Amino acid sequence: MTIAQLMANYTPSATFAGVANNDDFVLAIDCTADGDAASEAAYTVVQGGITGVDAQLNPETDEKTYIRQGKATNKVATQRTFNVSGDRMHGDDFQDFALAHAMKFGTGQKVIRPYVYFSLLTGKGETGTASIIVNSDGSGDAGSTAEIDIDIMATAAPGEYTYA
């Protein structure tokens, strides 16, 4: 499913106020063959078979202690990461792309793709590029569904994004 297909059923409001659920956020990746989709609307939504998208901000700090001032913390960077977990679902566009041999064993630029992450409620979020890192492509006990674990880690600070 693409962002365009998903958003046909939603109308975000920049003035929305209220509680958001995890299902109210969209993570979508450019899964085109060359990683050069015509627009974000063509990005593939991460959802089929997915039980969790753990969106994290991982700040990096530099701490120093100064004479007669004490300890001071300076924030120097923040990396966005997503841990995607769920059940292996063959035929899902995102899973088939991320779990293809080229992505599982690829390195460098070959595994970096554009992404967007935004709220269905407000349309506000972020856009950037990220490395797709497959940790598990189907683990579990006998008789259980095959579980997947994929990290999507930003390669630079993301920019602001608003769904239009």
Most distant CA pair in the chain: distance in Å? 63
> What would the two tokens of residue 9 be?
């059923």
Q: Where are the domains of the chain?
A: 3-162
pLDDT of residue 35: 79
Q: Do 31 and 124 contact (CB within 8 A), yes or no?
A: no
pLDDT tier for residue 155 given thresholds of 50, 70 and 90: very high
- Within 8 A by CB and 6+ apart from 139, the residues are 146, 147, 149
Q: Supply the pLDDT for residue 33.
A: 87
pLDDT range class, residue 36, cuts 50, 70, 90: confident
pLDDT in tens, 109-134: 999 999 999 999 999 999 999 999 99
pLDDT of 147 reads: 96
Looking from the CA of 106 toward its CB, the CA atoms found within 13 Å total 18
* 60 burial level (CB within 10 Å; 0-12, 13-18, 19+): exposed
- Domain 3-162 classification at class level: mainly beta
Question: What global pTM score does this model have?
Answer: 0.92
Checking if the pLDDT of 37 tops 90, the result is no
The predicted structure's pLDDT at residue 164: 86
